[in-house]
Copies of this chain bind each other. A is one copy, B any other.
Amino acid sequence: MNLVTIDDIQTAAKRIEGVAVRTPLLPQPWGSPAGLWLKPENLQQIGAFKVRGAYNAIAALDEETRTRGVVAYSSGNHAQAVAYAAKLFGVPAVIVVPNVTPRIKVEATRAHGAEVVEVPIAERESAAYAIVAERNLTLIPPFDHPEVIAGQGTIGLEIAQDAPDVDVVLIPVSGGGLASGIGTAIRALCPNAKIYGVEPELAADTAEGLRAGARVDWAMDRRARTIADGLRSQPSELTFAHLQAVLDGLLTVTEDEIRSAVRTLAFKAHLVVEPSGAVATAAYLFHGDELPEGKTVSVVSGGNLDPATLVELLSQ
């Protein structure tokens, strides 16, 4: 299997320049003496890192293919990322969402000019493939795609530029595209750094898979228990191979630890972060004994949560 290379990530960085926000590393005085820095991807226009991979994947299409348009199935940050990136290219986007998706998310996706197709949740994937076939469009998957992985990897490139002496990098893991990309960049540019994925304990299929040396399947209703609704996917063959190659370890965090990290990020770092975006910081805060000491970067992957949930989390 061909893995994404640092060259692929550098090509992606050129494509997304001026499109994705070049997020800074934010030093945190409440971190340990060696230092904690946050990489705040919740500050992207769409509120999450996903714009990097979606834009890179669409940019990598030949022009004729791209002009026909793209399709994504997702109710989350990837849907908005594909809709937003397609709008920037001026090409059609069709987003297939479950018909139980909150109106606010449907409207946000439509606001980027995308066509939203609502289907029963079980038909989401098949409906997307049917649209791809019928209309001759191109599917942009959320993580199982080299150009998506390379786009997310630009975060690692930026971390290496801003903190070449980084010792530890902590990255949320779900489908694994983010950790695959960042891990590949850090491995290449900061060979001495240790790279850890982080999962909710309630959706820890990748932790189990890495221990077993092969992907394992957790039923969707088991993974759906976590409040971190962006971390309920599982790696593909492609991302799992990357994770095996680049991760030094994978930590799991509890639901209470995730909630607490959301509060710390709001009250001390002044960032609104969704539960999925807070898991790496939760690992830093509560599992320091499982991590090497040193200059640590925690990737804050997104900030999209509805106001009522945010207030509830902050009130605890």
Residue positions of A touching B, CB distance < 8 A: 21-24, 26-29, 40, 42-43, 45-47, 84, 111-112, 263, 266-267, 269-273, 303-304, 307, 310-311, 314-315
A43–B310 contact, CB under 8 A? no
Q: A270-B271, A271-B270, A272-B271 are in contact. Are A28 and B47 (CB under 8 A)?
A: no
User: Residue A314 contacts which of B22, B28, B43, B311 (CB distance < 8 angstroms)?
Assistant: B311
Residue contact A307 to B303, C-beta cutoff 8 Å: no
Q: How far is the CA of A84 from the CA of B28 in the complex (A)?
A: 12
Contact yes or no, A24 B27, CB < 8 A: no
Query: When A272-B272, A311-B315 are in contact, do A28 and B43 touch as well, CB less than 8 Å?
Result: no
Cβ contact within 8 Å between A307 and B21: no
A266 CB contact (under 8 Å) in B28, B29, B269, B272: B272
| A270 touches which of B267, B272, B315 (Cβ 8 Å) | B272
Given A273-B270, A311-B311: A24 in contact with B43 (beta carbons within 8 A): yes
Q: Which residues of B contact A270 (CB under 8 A)?
A: 42-43, 47, 271-273, 303-304
Given the interface pairs A43-B40, A272-B272, A314-B314, the reply to whether A307 lies near B26 with Cβ below 8 Å is no
A263 to B310, CA, bound (A): 11
Given A310-B314, A311-B311, A311-B315, A28:B45 Cβ within 8 A: yes
When distances are taken between beta carbons in the complex, the residues of chain B under 8 Å from A43 are 24, 26, 40, 269-271
CB-based contact A307/B24 at 8 Å: no
Check if A314 sits within 8 Å of B303, measured CB to CB: no
Specify which chain B residues have a CB less than 8 angstroms from the CB of A47 in the assembled complex: 270
Residue in A84, A273, A304, A307 whose Cβ sees the most chain B Cβ within 10 Å: A307
Q: Which of the residues B22, B24, B310, B311 comes within 8 Å of A21, measured between beta carbons?
A: B24
A24 close to B26 (CB less than 8 A): no
A28 (CB) vs chain B CBs: closest residue: B45
Can you list 16 contacts pairing A with B, beta carbon distance less than 8 Å? Answer: A21-B24, A21-B27, A23-B24, A24-B43, A28-B45, A29-B45, A29-B112, A43-B269, A263-B307, A267-B272, A270-B272, A270-B304, A307-B314, A311-B311, A311-B315, A315-B315
Bound-complex Cα distance A314 to B112 (A): 26
In the complex, what residues of B have CB within 8 A of residue A315's CB?
A: 311, 315
CB distance B29 to A46 under 8 Å? yes
Which residue of the partner chain, among B40, B263, B310, contacts A267 with CB atoms under 8 Å? B310
Q: Which residue of B lies closest to A87 (CB)?
A: B29
Residues of chain B within 8 A (CB-CB) of A21 are 24, 26-27
A263 to B308, CA, bound (A): 12
Q: Give A273 to B263 CA distance when docked, in angstroms.
A: 14
- Residues of B within 8 Å of A269, CB to CB, are 43
Write out the residue numbers on chain B whose beta carbons fall within 8 Å of the beta carbon of A310.
266-267, 314
* Complex Cα–Cα for A23 and B22 (A): 10
